[in-house]
Amino acid sequence: MFELDLPTLWFIFIGFLFSGYFLLEGFDFGVGMLLPFLGTDERKRSAMISYIGPVWDGNEVWLITAGGSIFAAFPMWYADIFSGYYVPLFLILLALIVRAVSIEWRGKVDTRKWRQWCDGGIVLGSGLPPAIWGVMIANLVRGLPDHVSRVYPLFNVYSMVGALAFIFVFIFHGSLFIRLKTSGILRLNARKLASIFAGLSILCGGVFVLWTQLSFGEETTWGWTVLAVAGLVLALVCAHRDRDGWAFFFTCVAIVSITGLAFGAMFPTLWTGLDVWDASSSRYTLTVLTWCAAFGAPFVVMYQAWTYWIFRKRITADPVLSE
């Protein structure tokens, strides 16, 4: 019988944090990766960056909180991840720094060359992390030898499918976010690209989800599998019918479901020879952490929801004609 003890509760909470991170940062990454396709002139590029400008740094709080939670609740898992995945995590950190600097400093120098360099940093910093996250999540589900000291064992067919799934699902997610946040020609162009990347996201995401379920999943994870595939398909259907809000909602469902499937397939083994209960902190530590999370997490969620509500208006990249 399934028992929800403190280590299991914190494993679920960490899965929730990663779901929130991939959900919110996913459309940020998607918008950044779409910059070369939709940002055909400076007005469009500036508009696209302004969509994510007020929220991108707040979205990364979910990742920081997830890393801190792993450190506090599962110190042995933290040690294995940050030693075995040292190079991939370093590359993610470097890409996020390049992306942050490019977004913040893009408007500091008014030259075309400077903006081109910053745009390149945004594209690189938005495309590299999803690919690496896909590889890392796939290998956590698949399992790795203990104390991995080289990068090449991370690259296999399954992890490459995971990387492509994360990239295309996030691009599809980002294209729908642009459709929600803009009007005019940029929205029309985003609609065309959404149809293309929807097919790629369903193909790669569907293969990754089914492979994960059939090879590593349990009976309890079939629900996540169905929700993930159904979410991507319904997002495509709604996008074709110009139901942007529902389409975006269903990509959110798909991303949360893919994350839930990965964590469900991983449970209870966190690393080779290490399960949730062996890796967890003491009961007293987990109890204190639980009380802190119970009071702090709702305020963080409400504040971020309020932020998105404040910046909910549409932005246009079309020129304003004066009378």
H or E element at residue 275: strand 274-275
Residue 146 pLDDT more than 70?
Answer: no
194-200 long-range Cβ contacts below 8 angstroms, 24+ apart: 194/239, 194/247, 195/236, 195/239, 195/240, 197/168, 197/171, 197/172, 198/172, 198/232, 198/235, 198/236, 198/239, 199/236, 200/168, 200/171, 200/172
Cβ atoms within 10 Å of 185's Cβ, excluding its own: 14
> Which of 144-158, 229-243, 262-276 comes out lowest in average pLDDT?
144-158
Confidence of residue 320 (pLDDT cuts 50, 70, 90): very low
Residue 115 pLDDT more than 80?
Answer: yes
CA 207 to chain CA centroid, Å, is 18
Residue 294, CA atoms < 13 Å, CB-side half-sphere: 7
Residue 264 pLDDT more than 90?
Answer: yes
Structure tokens at 316: 């246009």
CA distance 224 to 210: 10
Tens of pLDDT, residue by residue over 65-102, are 999 999 999 999 998 888 888 889 999 999 999 999 99
Q: Which residue has tokens 């959404």?
A: 194
Confidence of residue 52 (pLDDT cuts 50, 70, 90): confident
Residue 129 pLDDT more than 90?
Answer: yes
State the pTM of this model: 0.90
- Integer CA distances (angstroms), 213 to 111, 217, 224, in order: 50, 4, 9
Question: What is the rounded (10 degree) CA torsion for 157, 161, 167, 172?
Answer: 160
Q: Are strands 274-275 and 269-271 parallel, antiparallel or unpaired?
A: antiparallel
pLDDT at 319 (0 to 100): 53
> Which of 60-64, 172-176, 211-215, 297-301 comes out lowest in average pLDDT?
297-301
Confidence of residue 322 (pLDDT cuts 50, 70, 90): very low
Residue 151 pLDDT more than 70?
Answer: no
Question: What average pLDDT is seen over the chain?
Answer: 87
Cβ atoms within 10 Å of 140's Cβ, excluding its own: 22
Domains of the chain in start order, with CATH, are 6-283 (1.20.1630)
- Residue of higher predicted confidence among 228 and 180: 228
Cβ atoms within 10 Å of 239's Cβ, excluding its own: 24
What average pLDDT does the segment 244-259 reach? 94
Q: CA 205, 146, 259 angle in degrees (round to 5)?
A: 25
Residue 170 pLDDT more than 70?
Answer: yes
Residue 138 pLDDT more than 50?
Answer: yes
pLDDT at 3 (0 to 100): 61
What average pLDDT does the segment 141-160 reach? 73
Residue 53 pLDDT more than 50?
Answer: yes
Residue 1 pLDDT more than 50?
Answer: no
pLDDT at 262 (0 to 100): 94
Cβ atoms within 10 Å of 299's Cβ, excluding its own: 9
What average pLDDT does the segment 264-270 reach? 89
